[in-house]
Amino acid sequence: MPREHFLFTSESVSEGHPDKVCDRISDCVVDAHLAKFPEARVACETLATTNRVLIAGEVRGSPEVDAAVVEQCAREAIRDIGYHQEGFHWQNCQVDVLLHEQSPDIAQGVDAGEAKEEGAGDQGIMFGFACRETPELMPAPILYAHKILHLMAGARHAGRAPELMPDSKSQVTVRYENGVPVGVHSIVVSTQHAKGLTSADVRKIVEPFVYEALPEGWINDETTWHVNPTGKFEVGGPDGDCGLTGRKIIVDTYGGAAPHGGGAFSGKDPTKVDRSAAYAARYLAKNIVAADLAERCTIQVSYAIGVAKPLSIYVDTHGTAKNVRSSDIERAINKVMDLSPRGIRQHLQLNRPIYARTAAYGHFGRAPEADGGFSWEKTDLADSIRDAL
């Protein structure tokens, strides 16, 4: 039986966190290739440390996106995030580009031919999740942890919080009663800041953003606060800690409230099912909940490299289904959406330069955008799923 009264915690990290700097650079490289060649293949990994960025991986894309363009992508990403400090500066850091051609052994499994459909770019399992805890159909802890940092970053970029620097983290512990989120037990915010500020000074700056992010009444006199609990946080970003692409996969998805497959998202073009199938699984789970078929839904899909169709589709409604069986939903999914790699890309229109914006504040729970960004957050499939059932 599911627990009714409990605490659950999720964390977020800002765009200036060392790992997120790397995610952003890798996704900017993906966007640069897709802008020139929508069928590009990109697997781009980034490492960042004190005034040093290393970009490596495999590509099959436009020759226009050469090492100089990739370096410029990295510098622009670092500049846009806001790093112009002595130990990590967008103009002065050394950028090494070690990208090379995609292996022909991998390419032959993915490429379509006269006798085969385009296959998946790798084997693996991918998960999607949705629930009724928030209007965005996301778990409350991760959604509000993201929102705190997103608001802080917006104020920093707008010049309304000049004391805040790019690197920050948040953590929200939500109190559940009868399985429903009702308040916040504890809040943790650690943020890089201008010289000379105390933790108390930083809390005065941060508190308004926390209150704005959380539902009214969720914070009370019993809520525990930890703002910069270690004290001074002046050295941040890759100067303070090494960053790598793909190291914040739970932050990117559901904050631990639902399973995650084995692969990261950033730096990968949409032929990689690590990314595209995870987006499709979220899209389907969200539409199942939006169709009022269940209060919660987890979907797993699995693939083999070079094989077009998923090996399995699994649906779990966690005992919340409304007069429908999970096996029926599984069959309906196959009717309403082609879950081959190409089918996913075409349905969600993923072969576009829309990925740099996903690198921070979560890949899910965001509003669909006019140019196709976050297309997997639409609920336009709900009626089709109902009809298929």
Residues 296 and 363 in one domain: yes
The CATH code of the domain that includes 204 is 3.30.300.10
- Domains in the chain, number: 3
In a domain, 243, yes or no: no
- Judging by DSSP bridges, how do beta strands 243-244 and 88-89 pair with one another? unpaired
Rounding to the nearest 10 degrees, give the CA dihedral for residues 368, 373, 377, 380. 70
The C-alpha atoms of residue 169 and residue 185 are separated, in whole angstroms, by 17
Q: Is 221 annotated as a binding residue?
A: no
Asked if residue 75 and residue 44 are part of one domain, the reply reads yes
**Same structural domain, 214 and 326:** no
Residues 205 and 307 in one domain: no
How far is residue 201's CA from residue 359's CA, in Å, rounded to a whole number?
Answer: 29
Question: Is 272 annotated to bind ligand?
Answer: yes
Domain co-membership, 231 together with 265:
no
State whether 278 and 379 are in the same domain. Answer: yes
Would the annotation count 233 as a binding residue? yes
CB 343 within 8 A of CB 303: no
What is this structure's pTM?
0.95
My answer on whether 228 and 297 are in the same domain is no
User: What residues contact residue 200 under an 8 Å CB cut-off, 6+ apart?
Assistant: none
- Determine if residue 19 is labeled as part of a ligand binding site: yes
- Residue 168 labelled as part of a binding site: yes
The amino acid present at 54, given as its one-letter code, is L
Which of 203, 235, 267 is the last residue in one of the domains? 235
167 is in an annotated binding site: yes
Q: Are 288 and 377 in the same domain?
A: yes
The answer on 377 and 289 residing in a single domain is yes
CA 371/CA 309 separation, integer angstroms: 28
- The answer to whether 371 is annotated as binding is no
Residue 231 shares a structural domain with residue 356: no
According to the annotation, is 86 in a ligand binding site? no
Residue 246 covered by a domain: no
- Nearby residues of 223 by Cβ (< 8 Å), 6 or more positions away: 183, 184, 185, 186, 187
Q: How far is CA 258 from CA 131, 139, 181, 232, 316, in A?
A: 10, 9, 16, 34, 11
pLDDT score for 214 = 98
DSSP H or E segment with residue 296: strand 296-303
Each residue's pLDDT, cut to its tens digit, for the chain (389 residues) gives: 567 899 999 999 999 999 999 999 999 999 999 999 999 999 999 999 999 999 999 999 999 999 999 999 999 999 999 999 999 999 999 999 999 987 666 655 566 555 457 878 788 999 999 999 999 999 999 999 999 999 999 999 999 999 999 999 999 999 999 999 999 999 999 999 999 999 999 999 999 999 999 999 999 999 999 999 988 999 999 999 999 999 999 999 999 999 999 899 999 999 999 999 999 999 999 999 999 999 999 999 999 988 999 999 999 999 999 999 999 999 999 999 999 999 999 999 999 999 999 999 999 999 999 999 999 999 999 999 999 99
Any binding-site annotation on 378?
no
Interatomic CA distance for residues 78 and 73, integer angstroms: 9
Binding site annotation covers 268?
yes
Note the helical H segments in the chain: 18-36, 67-81, 104-110, 140-157, 199-213, 249-252, 273-290, 326-336, 341-348, 382-388
- Per the annotation, does 58 bind a ligand? yes
The answer to whether the CB of 148 falls within 8 A of the CB of 209 is yes
Q: Which domain holds residue 33?
A: 18-110
- 32 marked as part of a ligand binding site: no
- Domain check: are 293 and 156 in the same one? no
To the question of whether residue 241 is assigned a binding role by annotation, the answer is yes
Domain's final residue, options 204, 235, 266: 235
E strands along 41-179, which residues? 41-49, 52-60, 84-85, 88-89, 94-101, 124-131, 164-177
Find out whether 71 is annotated in a ligand binding site. no
